[in-house]
Amino acid sequence: MIINWIFLVVLVAPCFSLENDLARTPPMGWLAWERFRCNTDCKNDPDNCISDQLFRTMADILVTEGYADLGYEYVNIDDCWSEKYRDTGNNLVPDRNRFPYGLKDLGDYIHSNGLKFGIYGDYGNYTCGGYPGSIAHMERDASMFASWEVDYVKLDGCYADAFDMDKGYPEFGYFMNRTGRNMVYSCSWPVYQIYAGINPNWTSIIKHCNLWRNYNDIQDSWSSIETIIDYYGDNQDSIVPNAGPGHWNDPDMLIIGNFGLSYEQSKTQMALWAIFAAPLLMSVDLRTIRPEFKAILQNRKIIAVNQDPLGIQGRRIYKHKGIEIWARPITPVEQNYYSYAIAFVNRRTDGTPSDVSVTLEQLGLQYKKGYKVEDLYEDVYYGVLEPKRKIKVKVNPSGVVILRCDIKVETTPTRNQYSQFSPLNHVFQVRQNSFE
Ligand SMILES: *[C@@H]1O[C@H](CO)[C@@H](O)[C@H](O)[C@H]1NC(C)=O
Ligand SMILES: *[C@@H]1O[C@H](CO)[C@@H](O)[C@H](O)[C@H]1NC(C)=O
Ligand SMILES: *[C@@H]1O[C@H](CO)[C@@H](O)[C@H](O)[C@H]1NC(C)=O
């Protein structure tokens, strides 16, 4: 008689949510990818290859050139940092020539500057650059990152099945949590699913990731920026509600100061990334950036909009004949009225500035006692303007004017009071023809 022993193996999927209390405002820092790519040629290009030296140098400059004081705190490695193969114990190993002291040592250096350390991995079989992926080694890789005292993990999604990601991304997050080390979790989960024609499960993504990519990689051009702006505007009803403290949409890096953007276009990227409540991850050579571009990246008032504690992502409220108006509810809040950052964007290419004239009321700003209105690039303060008051701005081709409109606050509400105002309750109503 043959006895069949049937083992019923119940695989309990880890029921887990990311409650790491990190990224309460969008992360800020420096990320290698857009500018330095997968340059591994340290022999011929020692100053620009992905190496220990590059990250130490950028960490130094973040501190000495004032970026760190403004909140740029993460120094993030992207792809192409590791050896092509795991070691005999299946561990990821940093490239032995380019990172001769190992990543714990690099992390220590970054931390000793008061900064934070970010790394890159991939959920699938390989990273996009063909380096080892984490799919069969999640627990091992998460603990390795923790042992290097990493503070931020970007997990890409090349060489993976997008259908598996609903399970796989939470699983990696579970192992990150199990290490006991606080690490921001940046996911590429939705963008690969969208590519594969899958409707992402936002409930789950919000629950498991601190930030996530939902659109193409940014490239060094204005046309790349424009496709991202359009994506964020055209899809705002589905993506804006997903943003909030601890969980952000990531339109990808700031490319300001590189080769592809004019001065005006650079101002537009900075202003709209503030409206988007986007992570501010600069990817630029901080050694050679020109002062006017550095000034854009260091604009305190625009950074303050980006880092607004309410964490409500802004929306495109008007789009007509190449003129767009974007608005983001911000603090201070009083009697259920928000303050706003308003960006006027000129997408036209006829070479003269366009005038936009509009009342605050038409923009949805109804607070009777008025708003303190300030231009965040020009450092002009317009005083307190009532909702019926018409404002007129001149917007340069592919440029921006960004205003901050603060309601006059009698008392300063506590952070808890803010949470009662749901961004979904706010409806913008701007008529298409309300501009001359
Ligand atoms: C990853 O590797 C496994 C094992 O070799 C293979 O079965 C799977 O098809 C690969 N997945 C992708 C998306 O390439
Ligand atoms: C792990 O998750 C638990 C519950 O979800 C949370 O309380 C804890 O702070 C997390 N730990 C880390 C290091 O993220
Ligand atoms: C989305 O994820 C949530 C939370 O993880 C889950 O409860 C829900 O069933 C999922 N929805 C779909 C349509 O799969």
Residues 131-169 pLDDT 10s: 999 999 999 999 999 999 999 999 999 999 999 999 999
Structure tokens at 264: 């005006």
Ligand 1 centroid to Cα of residue 126, in Å, is 10
- Both 353 and 285 in one domain: the answer is no
Atom 9 of ligand 2, nearest CA residue: 20
Residues with CB under 6 A from ligand 2: 17, 19-20, 177, 180-182
Residue 296, pLDDT > 70, answer yes
For position 329, what pLDDT does the model report?
98
Same domain membership, residue 376 and residue 231: no
Percent of the chain at pLDDT exceeding 90: 88
pLDDT at 409: 76
Residue 209 within any structural domain of the chain: yes
Q: Do both 284 and 361 map to the same domain?
A: no
Domain, as residue range, for 377: 315-407
Cβ of 161 closer than 6 Å to ligand 1, yes or no, is yes
Residue 23 resides in a domain: no
The reply to whether 303 and 320 lie within a common domain is: no
Instruction: Kindly state whether residue 8 falls inside one of the protein's structural domains.
Output: no
| % of the chain residues with pLDDT over 70 | 90
Determine whether the shortest distance from the Cβ of 126 to ligand 1 is under 6 A. no
Residue identifier of the C-alpha nearest atom 4 of ligand 2 = 19
Q: Are residues 401 and 280 in the same domain?
A: no
- Ligand 2, atom 13, residue with closest C-alpha: 180
Residue 427 is assigned to a structural domain of this protein: no
Q: Is 1 helix (H, G, I), strand (E, B) or coil?
A: coil
pLDDT in tens, 186-207: 999 999 999 999 999 999 999 9
Distance CA 369, CA 395 (A): 28
- Number of domains composing the chain: 2
- List, for residues 244-254, the tens digit of each pLDDT value: 999 999 999 99
Q: Which of 193-207, 237-251, 366-380, 400-414 has the lowest mean pLDDT?
A: 400-414
Among the three residues 273, 307, 341, which one is the final residue of a domain in this structure? Answer: 307
Residue 204 lies in a domain: yes
Q: How confident is the model at residue 64 (pLDDT cuts 50, 70, 90)?
A: very high
pLDDT of residue 316: 98
- Output the pTM of the full model: 0.93
**How far apart are alpha carbons 56 and 107 in whole angstroms?**
9
CA distance 275 to 311: 10
Give the separation between CA 59 and CA 76, rounded to whole angstroms.
10
Question: Residue 286: inside a domain, yes or no?
Answer: yes
